[in-house]
Amino acid sequence: MLSFEELGLSEETLKVLKKKGFEVPSPIQEVTIPAILNGNKDIVAQAQTGTGKTAAFGLPLVERLDEHSRSVQALVLTPTRELAIQVAEEIHSLKGKKKLTITPIYGGQSITLQLRSLKKGVDIVIGTPGRVLDHIARGTLKLGEISYLVLDEADEMLNMGFLEDVKKIMRHTPANKRTMLFSATMPKEIIQIAREHMTEFDEFKVSKDQLTVSQTDQIYFEVSASNKFEALCRIIDIEEDFFGLVFCRTKKDVDTIANHLVERGYDADALHGDLSQPQREKILNKFKKHLINILVATDVAARGIDVQDLTHVINFALPQDAESYVHRIGRTGRAGKEGNAITFITPEEYRKLRYISRETKTDIRKATLPDVKDVIKTKKIRIRNILKDIVEASPRSEYMEMSRELLDTNSPEDVVAALLEYSFQDELDEKNYTEIGNALVDTKGKTRLFVTQGKKDGLTSQKLMHFIQNKCGVKSKKIRDVQILEKFSFVTLPFHDAELVLSYFKGKQKGKGPFITKANKARENG
C-alpha cells in the first residue's frame, strides 16, 4: 500500500491531509491520483459510493488548477443536489491555502445567489445536470475553457434520466479537456459515453475480495452528528460488561472522542498513527488486560489487533468502503460467540450504509437508542448486584464498627440510601445525559419526497404546491425545496406532513395526476 507522499502530492496538500487526519489513501485514490497528476489521458474508474472517490479526483484538481484563472476551470456533474453540496464541501476542505473558488449549483437553491457567485468568478463548479443546463441557456455559465470535466456517479445519473442532459452539457465543453468518469457499475450506456466522448482513457477498477461477515448482530442508529457521542455513552452504559473498539475516520476524531470519554469517567484510550511503537504496545497491553474497556482507533492503527473477547465494535463514523466494514466488525463475534456491531449514521449517510449492506450481503437492521430512564434502570440493577456480592463475601471488619455507629442513630434504610447517594449520585443522575429527542429519524425532522411528474408533464412549482395543499391539507409555508426536473420532481416536507401526503397516495394507482413516494424508495426502484 502506498502513502499519500508517494502519490506525487505537494507538501501543502500533504499538510492539509495530515490536518484532516487522513493516514493512507483508499484503493481508488491510490490508482487514480498518480494517473491524473502525471498523465494526460481521460479516466474511467469503477468506484462505489464511500470509497473516497471525491478526494480521488478532488486532490488532483486542487493540485493542477491555476489560482489566477479568470474562467471556470473544472465542472463536476452529480446526480443529486445532496451530492453536489457534499462534493463542494469536501473539495473546499482539501484546497488548503490555495485560492480556488468552489461553488455548488443545483435546483431548489436561489438562482439569484448562484448568479452572484458565478458573476464573481468560479474555478470549480459542482452541479446537477438540470441546473447546469439552465445556466448555460442563460449564458451565465461558460464552459468553453474548462480543463476538466468529472462525471460523478454516472450510473446514478443514468438511472435518474439525466444521460441526455449530460450529453448536451458535454457539447458545450472544449475537445481538449480531460474527462474523468466515476461510476459504481458500468452499464452499456455509460461505456458508450466513454467511447463517444473520450479519445484515449485509462480504466481503473479496484478488485474486491469476497466479503463475508462473522456471526455478528449488526444494527445501526440514525443520529445527527452532534448526538453521536451521547449515543455512544448510552450504548456503553446499557451494557453489563462492555469491552469494545470504537472506530473513527481520523486521528483528530479518535483523540477527541477518547478524551471526552475519559472526562466522563470511562476507562478509555486512543490508538492512531501518530503514536510511537512503545506507546502503541503499552495501550494495547492495557486493553488486552481489561485495564481499559474502550479503545478508540482509526482503521490503520487497528490493523493487527488480535483481541478475542470483544463484546462490541462501534462504527462512530462509517468506514470508507464495504471491505473496511467487514474488517472492522470481524473483530467481534469470534470463538463461537455472537458479537455486536453498531454503526452510527446521519440521515444523509443512509445510502452509503445500504451500499455496504448490499456488498456484504448482510442485514444491518435499524434500532432505537436506549432511553435515559432505561439506562439508569440498568445501572441500578448492576449496582444492586455488585453490593449483593460484596455483602455475601462478608465486608471487611474495619468497616463494621463505623456501620454499627451509623445504625445506632439512623435507620438502616436511611444509612443505605445515604451511602448510595454518596457513592453513585453522579452515575445515576439523568442530567448527565443529553436529550436526543427525535433526531433519530429523517434529516432535521424532514422528508424528501419523489414526484412522478416533471416539466414535460406541464408540472410547475405552483401546481405541485397547490396539489399538495388541496389534496392533502398541508399548508404552503411547510412546503420547501420544490425541484421540478424534466421527467420528475422533488419536494421536502416536515416528517408529519410527509406522512399525511404518503397516506393520501397509499393504495392509489398511478394515474393522470402526480404520484408521490419517498425519494430514497424511488431511487431503490429506479
Contacts of 207 (CB under 8 A, 6+ apart): none
pLDDT tier at 391, thresholds 50, 70, 90: confident
For residue 421, with 0-12 CB atoms within 10 Å meaning exposed, 13-18 middle and 19 or more buried, which class applies? exposed
Of 234, 22, 57, 242, give the one whose Cα is nearest residue 151. Answer: 57
Helices (H), 211-338: 228-238, 251-263, 277-288, 299-302, 322-329
pLDDT value, residue 50: 59
CATH, domain 216-369, list 3.30.365.10, 3.40.640.10, 3.90.550.10, 3.40.50.300: 3.40.50.300
pLDDT (0 to 100) of residue 13: 94
Domain ranges, ordered by start, for the chain: 5-205, 216-369, 383-432, 443-525
Can you point out the beta strands (E) in 68-107? 74-77, 102-105
Per-residue pLDDT band for 435 (boundaries 50, 70, 90) equals low
The domains spanning 5-205 and 216-369 adopt the same CATH topology: yes
Res. 480: pLDDT tops 90 = no
User: What's the pLDDT tens digit per position in 146-202?
Assistant: 999 999 989 888 878 888 999 999 999 999 999 999 988 888 888 888 888 887 899
pLDDT interval class at 269 (50, 70, 90): very high
Nearest to 25 by CA among 41, 5, 10: 5
Percent of all residues in the chain with a pLDDT value above 70, rounded to a whole number: 89
Residues 6+ apart with CB under 8 A from 395: 403
**What pairs with residue 494 in β-bridges?**
446
Helical segments of 308-443, H only: 322-329, 350-360, 372-392, 400-409, 412-424
Q: 5-205: which CATH architecture? A: 3-Layer(aba) Sandwich (3.40)
Cα of first residue to Cα of last residue in the chain, in angstroms, is 37
Whole-angstrom Cα distance, residue 486 to residue 129? 11
Give buried/exposed letters for 44-76 (b at 16+ CB in 10 A, else e).
bbbbbbbbbbbbbbbbbbbbebeeeeeebbbbb
Task: List beta partners, residue 412.
Answer: none
Instruction: State the pLDDT at residue 34.
Output: 94
Segment 99-103 mean pLDDT: 94
Residues 308-356 pLDDT 10s: 678 899 999 988 777 778 878 877 765 456 779 999 998 878 888 888 8
Q: How confident is the model at residue 48 (pLDDT cuts 50, 70, 90)?
A: low
Q: Label residue 23 by pLDDT band (50, 70, 90).
A: confident
CATH number of this structure's domain 443-525: 3.30.70.330
Cα 294 to Cα 195, 244, 464, 507, distances in angstroms: 52, 5, 51, 49
